[in-house]
Amino acid sequence: MALHLSWVFVFGILGNVVSFMVSLAPLPTFYQIYKKKTSEGFQSLPYVVSLFSAMLWIYYALLKKDAVLLITINTFCVFIQTFYIVTYFYYGPKKEKLVTVKLMLLFNVFGFGIIFFSTFFLGNPRIRIQILGYICMAFALSVFVAPLAIVRKVIKTKSVEFMPFTLSLFLTLGAVMWFFYGLLSKDMNIAVPNVLGFIFGILQMILYAIYKNRPKKVVEDPKLQLSEQHIVDVVKLGTVVCLDANGVTPPQPNNKNYNDDGGGDASQKV
């Protein structure tokens, strides 16, 4: 039993470390925002969703009562994603500020509020944690599906300039760590989504190996936007922990974007 618990702790610590690095991936992008004094061309959605993901996993971990390592990484994710959102909002044009406010209200106020009040007052604690776990797992699975857009773009353009290898590698490592953490702690709400995260991560690295030597295509009117994978978060499940991931070699100015539209973690912190 002691050995079993020690391995849970080891994989939890490793998951925290990987997810921590993924969460810091957008910093160079926000340095560009600071230098340009504008966040125009970026999207706030990845950071809002990453924040929502971290909030869900903290709530889940608090109810579960024996998931300190989920609380640590997602607490950090709450702070770093809040910093990203505040910075984006400060330098954003009026239209984008309005969009960000609407997204915050939709996900972080009403969305989380509905989930909280519909589960917290349930009489049976076991049913409460089970329902919340299903919600967290469903959201994490939806986050891990996001890279499909990137995979499609890589295959279509035969170029990996929109899919940094380091980001794919760290998200894959994060998925592995959180899978074993969930498996050994007998928490399938954590383990199951990371199976999908691992599969997509491996797929991206295979595509990178196939197309890495292909000539890069010129993208007209490029914009700096972060990849939706920064949501993954981890838990971020790799932020997304619930990283979020949204998650690394971040997009670079001018031509280094990582979105389906050629524009703009994560995440998945769990």
**Cα–Cα nearest to 241, from 32, 90, 57:** 57
**Cα–Cα nearest to 73, from 26, 25, 112, 15:** 15
Structure tokens at 170: 């760290």
Q: Work out the number of other CB atoms within 10 angstroms of the CB of residue 156.
A: 9
Alpha carbons 158 and 13: distance in angstroms, whole number: 37
Alpha carbons 93 and 106: distance in angstroms, whole number: 20
Q: pTM of the entire structure?
A: 0.76
At 146 the pLDDT is 66
At 158 the pLDDT is 83
Alpha carbons 42 and 44: distance in angstroms, whole number: 7
Q: Which residues pair with 252 in a beta bridge?
A: 256
Alpha carbons 52 and 55: distance in angstroms, whole number: 5
Alpha carbons 75 and 80: distance in angstroms, whole number: 9
At 121 the pLDDT is 86
Structure tokens at 134: 């299903």
Element (H, E) at 66: none
- Decide if 16 contacts 72 (C-beta within 8 A): yes
Alpha carbons 181 and 199: distance in angstroms, whole number: 17
Residue pointed to by tokens 């928490």: 187
At 75 the pLDDT is 96
- The dihedral region occupied by 105, where left means phi > 0, alpha psi between -120 and 50, and beta the remainder, is alpha
Structure tokens at 164: 């940094």
- Decide if 143 contacts 266 (C-beta within 8 A): yes
The mean pLDDT values, 10 residues at a time, for the chain of 270 residues are 73 94 89 88 86 94 90 96 94 92 95 93 87 90 73 83 78 92 92 89 87 63 42 41 38 44 45
Going by C-beta distance under 8 Å and a sequence separation of 6 or more, which residues neighbour residue 25? 167, 170, 230, 245, 247, 248, 249, 250, 265
